[in-house]
Structure 1
């Protein structure tokens, strides 16, 4: 377990949450391009590192679990309303109520799932550090969206900090739990591989949704958004040099 990477994920989450608390007016394009970049980077990590790993170990079973993970994420976003890929879903004019608990539950389950593959021992030695960086990058817009929604739910500043810190801890704690159990029980390490396949499916849903839905009018791919996606994929490609 590389504690530096877990600290990076924790810091990235807190940094993402601090942005809406300290910046009075965030340029809408900032979130769009940040999501596009992080989504593309995560997508590239999945395709170049995790997919080969799970198919090598699980064979055709991998596809089944990837599809299950994909549709598990479809279910989870019914709770989180798609905050994983930047959807805020603010209440319409005249409706001030935001159902906070389902949002927090759905996003926290997703964050816990994100952490479990970080405790797995991969044959590809570049897979884990690449995934750690990809998750850390994704945490910035994820936390930014979460705290933005909580601010519109009129949460006090102390509550915002409490929500942010608890949310920031979920993924690192899941990674620590998975790593600790996997190192002591071989059967846990074996079944973690199936969890990795499920999370691959969930990440594929999130990253591909980001490509087409993250904030742009009519969900079009603007030139700047395409550049952000291309830059994210390029950085993911560069992780291959560490193999």
Structure 2
């Protein structure tokens, strides 16, 4: 399931846009609620499950150092993706070039987030819920940008494979075993950054909508009982 669910999350989100032909789905209110829920859910699972384990295995300031490294890495990746990891995807009608920087950034991000999944099954659900709205937004962007369907499907397929690939590498490459806690600390930094960006960015007019608050609270409560 650690391999299958994150993969299916991307495929489901992508095909939802393709088959419904709703390339403007990113402008619909439900996707914002889904993003809020997924951000709260992922952040809560990280704090409840992954963070205590990493602090247990690392000594001194090492945990904080590598978490900050993860935050910094995610900031660098977002200079390439323009914030796609937390739902900021903008269409540029004057360019039909394949978005290689977006593709590379998302692949690195997805590969790393696969590392904690085989040791922390609960994180699998957080990654799944994170993947679905991001896949919807990315596919809507690609469709609106009028890329060939073959390009869109290849983009989604590779993107979907990267998280299971990270899980596979972390499980089967024995040389990485001594460094898993350090890598997981980096992933915590990545999760903290993207989830807090999703949660704390303001809506139009800087209003904190009740529906968004409800989605956030629901994500926290469900994460607590997983």
Q: TM bucket by the smaller chain?
A: over 0.9
What's the TM-score, normalizing by structure 2? 0.92
1:12 positional shift: 1.2
Partner of 2:113: 114
What's the TM-score, normalizing by structure 1? 0.86
Partner of 1:140: 132
With over 3 angstroms needed to count, the CA separation of the structure-2 counterparts of 1:195 and 1:20, relative to structure 1, is same
Q: Does 1:232 pair with 2:219?
A: yes
Partner of 1:16: 13
Counterpart Cα distance in 2 of 1:31 and 1:218: 18
Instruction: Flag structure 1 segments of 5+ consecutive residues without an equivalent.
Output: 122-127
Q: Does 1:44 pair with 2:44?
A: yes
- Residue 41 of structure 1 contacts residue 235 of structure 1 at CA under 8 Å; is this kept in 2? yes
1:219 positional shift: 4.8
Counterpart Cα distance in 1 of 2:81 and 2:97: 12
Deviation by residue 1:137-175 (Cα, 9 ceiling, x = unmatched): 111012112212211321111221111111111110111
1:208 positional shift: 0.3
Query: What's the C-alpha RMSD, in Å, of the aligned pairs?
Result: 1.7
Counterpart Cα distance in 2 of 1:142 and 1:191: 29
- Residue 100 of structure 1 contacts residue 150 of structure 1 at CA under 8 Å; is this kept in 2? no
In the alignment of these two chains, the number of paired residues is 222
Counterpart Cα distance in 1 of 2:192 and 2:102: 21
Instruction: Flag structure 2 segments of 5+ consecutive residues without an equivalent.
Output: none
Counterpart Cα distance in 2 of 1:171 and 1:225: 28
1:218 positional shift: 4.0
- Residue 70 of structure 2 contacts residue 187 of structure 2 at CA under 8 Å; is this kept in 1? yes
Q: Does 1:169 pair with 2:169?
A: no
Q: Does 1:75 pair with 2:76?
A: yes
